[in-house]
Structure 1
Amino acid sequence: MALRVALVGIYHESNTFVEGLTTLDDFKKGHYLKGEAIRKEYEGAHHEISGMIDVLEQAGIELVPVFFAEATPGGPVEAQTLDFLLAEMLEGLKQAGPVDACLVVPHGAGVSQNQVDMDGYWLAQVRQQVGPDLPIVGTLDLHANVSPRMVEMTNCLVSYKKNPHVDMRQTGEEAARILVRMLKREVQPRQVLIQPPLSISIEQQFTSQEPCLSLYKRAGELASRPGILSLSILLGFPYADVPEMGTSLLVVSDDRIDLATEVGQQLESYLIENRKFFVGARNDVFQALEIAERNPKPVLLLDMGDNIGGGSPGNNICILEGLLATQTLRYFVCLYDPEAVQTALSHAIGDSFELSVTGTVKEGVKKLPLAVRLVTISDGNFTEAAARHGGQVNYAMGKTVVVEVGEGSLLMITSRRVPPFSLNQLLSCGVEPAQFDVLIAKGVIAPLAAYAPVCQTVVQVNTPGVTQADMTQLGHKNRRIPLFPFEEV
């Protein structure tokens, strides 16, 4: 009889500085999948689940997809929503019948109303149900804030190694291969968590450039030592005010706790010695626009304070106001504003009218009146087949409009928050990226996988908001101390 492996996951990146909670409706608008619907969504995609499917199939092991729920990053998960999702997961796991192992897909930076360490909590519930001896192996987002409980409740966790996350499928493959070797009794994973006293600044987390480039090179050298099965650098998610917030190292050895600890401590020493390189220089809006004026076009302006992939509202208008003030650059901006969408839908394509958008600025929320012409109305659905950050295939922005503002500048307004991980977000609405001087993407590193091929210049913009680049200004109360750059270490 073939071996059977269950697959379960609750996946959310929770920003505790965001007002409001992530609800069951948010998960159902994201991905709320049971049974074979999981395989149908991800088979052949660029996602960790896709890699898991492939490896088990090649090994002749039956994958039993049970439950996977994922919502766009936002505020902490509502208590009753977590209770519901977990009950659905555990019941599905029970109904799946006897299994030989379990593959798990947490994010690693999940927080709920009633469980600060949300991922550690649901992993513990899975462990309790399947028993102490059943192998549990899984993946983590590179931005995980890893808790000791998450490590204790699993045999092996493996994180993405690239930001933007274009290696999710490969990460799923790595985790599944370790699980297969466990089931064949070829290896006995032992994992060690090391939490250096620092948190890497978000704008310095581009793994293809310094300072991360040298960090990952050093990690690769250490991971090649005999007996090391996996080495993960969790750069961390600074927008969750939890004790685990910060950079972590997760080293998995073949039954050698001493070796895993030694390797982790060597990499920790490298991080501490080079800590000051992991805090970057920052450009405000007008500095960024000056750079855009004098550099090759199109220019990608990364709106760091309104990083939808980090849980932000998606409606910061600081860069838009700067562009309106200078009036020298043709631009594309996308904003989340369901009310403005409904107002625009009362007009016909080609109509000119005044439209007020509701946006956030440093001082709070304001209405910004604009003279616009309605260009496009869309259902907001699009797909992405290439390897892009997040690895998702199907996207839904809700009812979406595109309006022209001034001569040749376009504003896309959506009914749902969708992070800028795919150029098909624009192309599906008839927007050609190459026609602009400036494109604004609400993110920090993640949009580069999609936008870098069409943008000759990239500028990170230090905008205000719940994902602002300077984490020391957010007002953490629960983080560990000392932690660089909050304190010197």
Structure 2
Amino acid sequence: MARIAIGGMQHETNTFAPSRADYAAFEAGGGWPGVQYGEPLFAAVQDANIPAAGAIQALRAMNHALVPTAWAAASPSAQVTTGAFERIVGELLARLEAALPLDGVYLDLHGAMVTEAHDDGEGEILRRVRERVGARVPIAVSLDLHANVTRAMLERADAMVAYRTYPHLDMADTGARAARLLDRMLRSGSRLASAWHAFDYLTGIPSQCSFIEPCRGIYRLLGELENRHDAVLSFTPGFPMADFDECGMAVFGYGGAQREVARAVEALRACVADSEPDFALELHAPDDAVARAKQRGEPGAPVVLADTQDNPGAGGNGDTTALLAALVRQDAREATLGLLVDGAAAARAHAAGQGATLAFSLGGRSGIPGDAPFAGEFTVERLGDGRFTCTGPMFRGFRMTLGPMALLRSRAAPGVRVAVATRKCQAADQEMFRHLGVEPRRERIMALKSSVHFRADFEPIAREVLVVKAPGPALADPAEFRWTKLRKGVRLRPLGPGYAG
């Protein structure tokens, strides 16, 4: 039995987003449990599809003694403030030092965190942890599929493993994979062989979905290569919204024999390189998407519109209104949009009460070019407290606390409803709408502020999915960002122009 410290800090940073992540953002959690210190960490993540939960369960099954330190997550946004980073990481390190000596460390990290002081947030966490525990204590890390894997991360961790699904159905499973790698090192008393390769092109996040090609085929090959070469492999398509030099895709792996690991990583590298043309994805203008959805959607088989560029899961605030305006303008029927994040509107709806009709000015508060508040009269159809438990494949077991919520029906277009929330979270679980009395399967159109995660719960009921390009900070085409720190020469989209600096 070994003594293993457990900790983590999850943040996906869109450096082009309008709002930063302060300590309050980590307290809120953005759909994840809030900040946890010490023993409460275990109960907070238990039974949820969270990497730390999978690691804890696996390590306990191996009869290891676990020492909880600190764990935190916040909704994606711009940079993590120095105050939040130092407070959370400082607590993690203090509890780590108090627990010494340790036999191992497991960390639940994202891999794409940028702070006000550190472009490579995870690399900095690993540097500090390594300083405390020393060179001989193995550190295993689970990462998000969107990790921007850096040289510092690879040098300071002994093993890292990333999700293999997007939507992220395997978060807990990935934590368990990291736990098994840690246990393997503890039992053998030796480090694992490793190999790594980075790529010279970026892909937009909608095209990184593992339900569609090319990622579906890439991850299928990854599994085959693992079996063939006795290796544990990862492919991280990256988070192409973090403006620093090492932003981008990578493949890496670990195993017992250097030659086998290197061969497996090389085969995976070649597949990703050859797949570059296949990462292109069709995007639809809001009015075009609504017109098509009106023609094809019907109760029992709605058309799902993904408002990808205002995805709270990629740094958006969930408050842009172009897609809502298109739905109202075209007088869509049996159409629901959500989650529109507007705490003031939710509070006003609660004050007015169910059944009230009044004028609202919805959303449009993030200062996004081309966006503005949507003004109109709406009837308050349903109210909710924002507390419910998700049941879909990705968020199953997540206990949501989204603050006061309201379902508003447009007077100008009575077939259009808007699900309003106070706290931001991407619309990736049907319970977010059922909480307000909406059964998504019965709608003709579901307009969701999400890029890909919604597919896990909504694609099975959808006639088709259309990815919509409306104003927002989470641009679907990385070439449209105003990069300043990216390494020169990297192609800003598949087969696209290289960054000139």
TM-score (norm 2): 0.92
1:260 maps to amino acid: V
Superposed CA deviations along residues 188-241 of structure 1, whole A, max 9, x for unmatched, are 31333210112222221111221112222222232223342x110001101111
1:384 and 2:390 aligned: yes
Quote the residue 1:271 is aligned against.
Answer: 272
Alpha carbons 1:13, 1:110 under 8 Å: kept: yes
Alpha carbons 1:466, 1:474 under 8 Å: kept: no
Quote the residue 1:483 is aligned against.
Answer: 490
1:147 alignment partner, one of 150, 154, 160? 150
Identical amino acids, percent of aligned pairs: 27
1:343 and 2:348 aligned: yes
Quote the residue 1:126 is aligned against.
Answer: 129
Quote the residue 1:234 is aligned against.
Answer: 236
Q: Cα distance, 1:361 vs. partner?
A: 8.7
Quote the residue 1:243 is aligned against.
Answer: 245
Quote the residue 2:286 is aligned against.
Answer: 285
Quote the residue 2:303 is aligned against.
Answer: 299
Q: Cα distance, 1:392 vs. partner?
A: 5.9
Quote the residue 1:14 is aligned against.
Answer: 13
1:356 and 2:361 aligned: yes
- After superposition, residues 31-430 of structure 1 pair within 5 angstroms as 31-185=34-188, 188-228=191-231, 230-256=232-258, 258-297=259-298, 298-334=302-338, 335-359=340-364, 363-389=369-395, 393-406=398-411, 407-430=414-437
Alpha carbons 1:23, 1:78 under 8 Å: kept: yes
Q: Which moved more, 1:123-132 or 1:258-267?
A: 258-267
1:211 maps to amino acid: P
Alpha carbons 1:143, 1:234 under 8 Å: kept: yes
SS in 1 for 2:471: coil
Cα 1:29–1:362 change in 2 (3 A) is closer
Alpha carbons 2:203, 2:477 under 8 Å: kept: no
Alpha carbons 1:188, 1:255 under 8 Å: kept: no
Cα 1:290–1:186 change in 2 (3 A) is farther
Q: Distance in 2 between matches of 1:365 and 1:295?
A: 27
SS in 2 for 1:382: strand
SS in 2 for 1:466: coil
1:447 and 2:454 aligned: yes
* Unpaired runs of at least 5, structure 2: none
Q: Distance in 2 between matches of 1:47 and 1:358?
A: 30
1:27 and 2:26 aligned: yes
Q: Cα distance, 1:104 vs. partner?
A: 0.6
Q: Distance in 2 between matches of 1:374 and 1:7?
A: 45
Q: Distance in 1 between matches of 2:431 and 2:99?
A: 37
Q: Which moved more, 1:246-255 or 1:304-313?
A: 246-255
Alpha carbons 1:198, 1:272 under 8 Å: kept: no
Q: Distance in 1 between matches of 2:280 and 2:308?
A: 14
Superposed CA deviations along residues 130-179 of structure 1, whole A, max 9, x for unmatched, are 11110100100000001110111110000000110001111111111111
Superposed CA deviations along residues 357-392 of structure 1, whole A, max 9, x for unmatched, are 132697444232111111222221111245315x66
Superposed CA deviations along residues 412-448 of structure 1, whole A, max 9, x for unmatched, are 2211111112211111222221332111111111111
Q: Which moved more, 1:150-159 or 1:196-205?
A: 196-205
Alpha carbons 2:361, 2:375 under 8 Å: kept: yes
Cα 1:83–1:363 change in 2 (3 A) is closer
Cα 1:292–1:64 change in 2 (3 A) is same
Q: Distance in 1 between matches of 2:45 and 2:108?
A: 13
1:366 maps to amino acid: A
Q: Distance in 1 between matches of 2:478 and 2:312?
A: 16
Q: Cα distance, 1:409 vs. partner?
A: 2.6
Cα 1:8–1:363 change in 2 (3 A) is closer
Q: Which moved more, 1:448-457 or 1:4-13?
A: 448-457
Q: Distance in 2 between matches of 1:393 and 1:339?
A: 25
Give the length in aligned residue pairs. Answer: 485
Alpha carbons 2:428, 2:450 under 8 Å: kept: no
Alpha carbons 1:316, 1:361 under 8 Å: kept: no
2:264 maps to amino acid: V
SS in 2 for 1:282: coil
Q: Which moved more, 1:260-269 or 1:191-200?
A: 260-269
Q: Distance in 1 between matches of 2:137 and 2:213?
A: 40
Cα 1:451–1:361 change in 2 (3 A) is farther
Alpha carbons 2:144, 2:163 under 8 Å: kept: yes
SS in 2 for 1:374: strand
Cα 1:57–1:385 change in 2 (3 A) is farther
SS in 1 for 2:487: coil
Alpha carbons 1:156, 1:190 under 8 Å: kept: no
Alpha carbons 1:204, 1:279 under 8 Å: kept: yes
Cα 1:428–1:304 change in 2 (3 A) is same
Q: Which moved more, 1:474-483 or 1:263-272?
A: 263-272
Q: Which moved more, 1:61-70 or 1:365-374?
A: 365-374
Superposed CA deviations along residues 41-80 of structure 1, whole A, max 9, x for unmatched, are 2222222122112211221111222110111111100012
1:414 maps to amino acid: A
Q: Distance in 1 between matches of 2:237 and 2:351?
A: 46
